[in-house]
Structure 1
Amino acid sequence: MKPFKFKQFEIHQSSAVFRVGTDGVLLGVLANVSQANNVLEVGTGTGLISLMLAQRNSGAYFLGVEINEEAVHLTRLNFENSPFNVRLKNILQDFKAFETAEKFDLIVSNPPYFEENPSSKDIIARQTIELNFGELISKSAKLLSENGIFSVIIPYDVESVFIGIAQQNQLFLNRKINIYGIQNSKIKRLVLEFSLQQNVLEECDFVIEKSPRKYSDQYLEFTKEFHVFKG
């Protein structure tokens, strides 16, 4: 499988690991990484999100936790070949068993979101078998620094469940980005950001395509430092 090329790095991929996708790219450009010194990514896959965030914040250090051995291999390869390699580390670890005294300024995840089903495609990355919302949220809440941010991208239809679990873990929703696949369509995804501090909710919309196969000006602006667009 050919690497996916970005302007400053490339992503080696495998059929056994969830590939580069729009959700990962969106979280990579939208997560609030500007004030973070140390970042934790839960479920790194190929390392795409950490690499994008490392490009956006040249002073932050990143740790990735991933349970899939093949994904860890790919992430390490992609980290090592990037210009940000000294600030990036990835470990093979079940997040539920991950222990550290360190607190993180940003915890970011594109989590599994389908309940268990018969499909065998990308089973760890897509289905909540190894890590469900409750486990992800409760562990992340304990690892956040005082002013840290927990940032995720999830399907629109699980919003109330996810926010409810976050509230049970004393996490407050501070930022909500409504993702539209195409202009004037229904909301497809949400980027949600939580913290231990209660602040006024910031909410905005983000449109990926203005018409079929035509990226919106908003998407082009946010991804211009990453994507290599043809013509």
Structure 2
Amino acid sequence: MTTTKNALVVRGGWDGHQPVETTELFIPYLRGNGFDVRVEEGPAVYADADYMAGVDLIIQCNTMTTIEKDEFEGLRAAVENGTGLAGWHGGIADSYRNNSDYLHLIGGQFACHPGKHADERTGGQSDNYVPYTVAMTPEGASHPITEGIGDFDLVTEQYWVLTDDYIDVLATTTQKVREWDPWHREVTSPAIWTRQWGKGRIFVATPGHHVDILEDTNVKTIIERGMLWASR
């Protein structure tokens, strides 16, 4: 007998990250893998303890917004009790800057995405699109999320993230030093990581600025696997 699982999609925040379009890309995949999917346009649902107790997986795509104390506490309690939490790009790694406990839960926070030389900028989002490599770690080579996927290249926002060492890094990206940059040595940041929190699993992928990046075969496969891995 097949048991239906419950997935909660929480989306919103900055429209530049296409929260509706990007989550709609993955909802059919979740349904095809036995999830009943509920969509909410903000984090208020996290405060509903009775509902959250039955959620197996949260997909969060909510950039540069805020979360109330009871909402965050509901989210954290759900993860600690076994609900999986997964997301990509700013939808999970730049969600609730007003809450340091949320940053602690996720294990990595967007700091910046160094862009093009000033002479190449036109004032649009593409000012921050640069070519970079997502490089697999030895752990990533054998992890079920990234197994069989080699290093790959993207042209999009390259996330420089601030992290702690209580994450399991599956892939990294290295920010080069360019003649106009103020830093003086290369900086390597996690690009894909997992985190165990209580009974719950957390999965984060920093690529995913727009639908076109999420449609990249490597990125899409990693996120699909990551969602299933994180689920209760």
- What TM-score does the superposition give when structure 2 sets the normalisation length? 0.38
- What TM-score does the superposition give when structure 1 sets the normalisation length? 0.38
Higher relative contact order (CA 8 A, sep 6+): 2
